[in-house]
Amino acid sequence: MEFKKVGVILLLLLCGIELFMGRNDNMKVGRVEACPLYCYADAAYMTCTSSGNEHLPPKCNCCLAGKGCTIYKADGSPYCSST
């Protein structure tokens, strides 16, 4: 009787391992970047490649800005670019 319980538990454990760690093609290994939670206080505007040279309201920082966007200071010097 105990042998059957151990066998069932072992079978369920092996099935669970195969289910969660097995061949899942949707899972991809990639690089994760942390986004800092601070804002540039003196950011004046931003431009994005998708909007041409149009001055847009700046996001808090480049991590939150879209790809291809640059945040500028009031004097026109770039603060940062998101790639």
Which residue's structure tokens are 């998101």? 82
Q: Give me the pLDDT at residue 21, please.
A: 63
Q: Give me the pLDDT at residue 53, please.
A: 83
Evaluate whether residue 69 is within a structural domain: yes
Evaluate whether residue 22 is within a structural domain: no
Evaluate whether residue 66 is within a structural domain: yes
Give the E-state strand segments of the chain in sequence order: 43-48, 69-73, 78-81
Which residue's structure tokens are 């490649």? 49
Distance CA 81, CA 35 (A): 14
Evaluate whether residue 10 is within a structural domain: no
Domain containing 44: what range?
A: 38-83
Domain count along the chain: 1
Q: Give me the pLDDT at residue 26, please.
A: 62
Q: Give me the pLDDT at residue 20, please.
A: 64
Evaluate whether residue 16 is within a structural domain: no
Evaluate whether residue 21 is within a structural domain: no
Evaluate whether residue 73 is within a structural domain: yes
Q: In tens digits, what is the pLDDT along the chain, a chain of 83 residues? A: 676 777 778 777 776 666 666 655 566 667 777 788 889 899 999 999 998 889 999 999 988 888 899 999 999 999 998 87
Q: Going by C-beta distance under 8 Å and a sequence separation of 6 or more, which residues neighbour residue 70?
A: 46, 47, 48, 62, 78, 79, 80, 81, 82
